[in-house]
Structure 1
Amino acid sequence: MWKDKIIEEIYRIREEHAKAFNYDLQAICDDLRQKQAVSSRQIISQPLKQPSRQNSK
């Protein structure tokens, strides 16, 4: 089976991060939000796209 080294690394990092917070989703999200707040990167968010309504006949 083919393995993607980049995906495997992402899974490993994600697992280590979750384990550091005892898999507490609230704590994980709080940590990521805190890291985002102090980051110098520009954050771009787009509004949610509304599903298009098609005329039904």
Structure 2
Amino acid sequence: MWQDPIVEETRNLRKQYAELFDYNIDAIFADIRKRQEHSKRKRVSFPARKPVSTKKSA
């Protein structure tokens, strides 16, 4: 089976990052939030979309 080197690199980096926090998702999320707060990049958020009704009218 053919392996994409970019995908392999991404998976290895993700594994290394998770190992830093002993695969603790709460610690990983806290680190991401901390990095986001200290980032100089503009953060964009969008308002929630209204749900679309799937009921058909009679």
TM-score (structure 1 length as normaliser)? 0.76
- Evaluate the alpha carbon distance shift between residue 50 and residue 11 of structure 1 in structure 2; reply closer, same or farther with a 3 A threshold: farther
- 1:55 is displaced (CA, Å) by 4.7
Identity of aligned residues (%): 35
Partner of 1:36: 36
Give matches, 1:19-34, under 5 Å.
19-34=19-34
Q: Distance in 2 between matches of 1:50 and 1:8?
A: 38
TM-score (structure 2 length as normaliser)? 0.75
Query: What secondary structure does 2:37 align onto?
Result: helix
Task: Count matched residues.
Answer: 57
Q: Distance in 1 between matches of 2:26 and 2:6?
A: 26
Structure number, greater radius of gyration: 2
Structure 1: runs of 5+ lacking an equivalent: none
Aligned CA RMSD, in angstroms, stands at 1.7
